[in-house]
Amino acid sequence: MTFPSLAILTRVREVLEDGRGAVRTITAETYKPGTHAALDALSDSVGALGKPTIEATIADRVRHPSSPARQGSFTLEEITVSVRVVRGFDGNADLNAAARTALHSLAASDGFDISQALGWPGNMTATEAASATGLVSGQLQDLGTSVASLEYPSGQNGRLVTTHRFRGVVRVETPIPDFATYLTTPDGDRLITPDGDFLIAS
């Protein structure tokens, strides 16, 4: 029993960086890896010159309200995936009104294109190496885009950071050992194994 977080994040990269998927795909190499929250603004902006950089993370995970009881053979988990996109710009040439308008329009367009690729059923089912993501319907659901202000730290290069958030429901198999027995008692459900008698919380 392993939560498939690595498969999910790997598949996001394959869809966004490599153009994988079946329908409403993104052109390969539209985005490249390279950004992360620990980078300072200048390093982040320089890395994103010429081509926007991205990074995906699982921002949170909670048990889904429709998940069956813990003693079942599977569980449903709800996750939020955050995709960070950084677009760099040349501060000497790209700070006029027309360039700023174009940059902001690209940020909004990124959100739409990414949501179409990650949200199409089946595009997120498994990695190219056939590692299952567990995502129900093989998709992520768009929660929207937030656009930060332009940052211009060096007097030469700057960046625009956008965050695109998605919701997904993950089915995780939780096998029950063959030697285990469940009993319902006045005190609640109990799991009987060779190692002992355990009360199961609902």
Collapsing DSSP to helix, strand or coil, 43 comes out as: helix
Contact (CB, 8 A) for 67 and 78: no
Distance CA 105, CA 93 (A): 17
Collapsing DSSP to helix, strand or coil, 90 comes out as: strand
Total domain count, the chain: 1
Q: What is the pTM for the complete model shown?
A: 0.82
DSSP state of 151: B
Q: Which domain holds residue 100?
A: 5-199
Encode the chain (202 residues) as per-residue pLDDT tens digits. Answer: 589 999 999 999 999 999 999 999 999 999 999 888 888 888 888 888 889 999 999 999 999 998 887 767 788 999 999 999 999 888 777 778 888 888 889 888 999 999 999 999 999 999 999 999 999 999 999 999 998 777 887 677 888 899 999 999 999 988 766 555 555 555 666 655 555 555 555 5
Q: Which of 102, 105, 13 is nearest to 57 (CA)?
A: 13
